[in-house]
Amino acid sequence: MSIEARDRGLQPERTTLAWRRTLISLLVVDLFIWRRWLTAKSGAGQLPTGIPGLDYQGICALTAAAATIVLGSVVWVRSHQLHHGAEEASAILMLASALSIIALACAAVAAIALGG
């Protein structure tokens, strides 16, 4: 089916809204991880690198932030693709979104495990 023959309807708008809702929920997880890191006891879980503030909770927070930035970029690119009539997402976008969600999930689990 060509792009011209496709009934655009509301599907691209619904898809864009779904991507944005996913991003908002991941931002909430990201904020919880950052909050846990900022309120953690200083010195607990300190890495031997000697970099102040860099501990295991900090690595979780940085991983979560990087994953959220990658997913935000994917959402932005995909929204523009849908706005311009692209029918399916590229494999690279799907791989980037899957890896960023997995990285954020791992960071959240590690932050919870290290927080106790």
Domain edges within the chain: 11-72+79-115
CA distances to 29, 32, 62 from 40, rounded to whole Å, are 17, 12, 15
Angle 28-30-33 (CA atoms, 0-180°, nearest 5)?
115
Predicted TM-score (pTM) of this structure: 0.71
Q: Are 34 and 64 in contact (CB under 8 A)?
A: yes
Q: What is the pLDDT of residue 59?
A: 86
Q: What is the pLDDT of residues 36-90, one digit of tens each?
A: 888 876 555 555 555 666 678 888 888 999 999 998 898 888 888 877 776 677 8
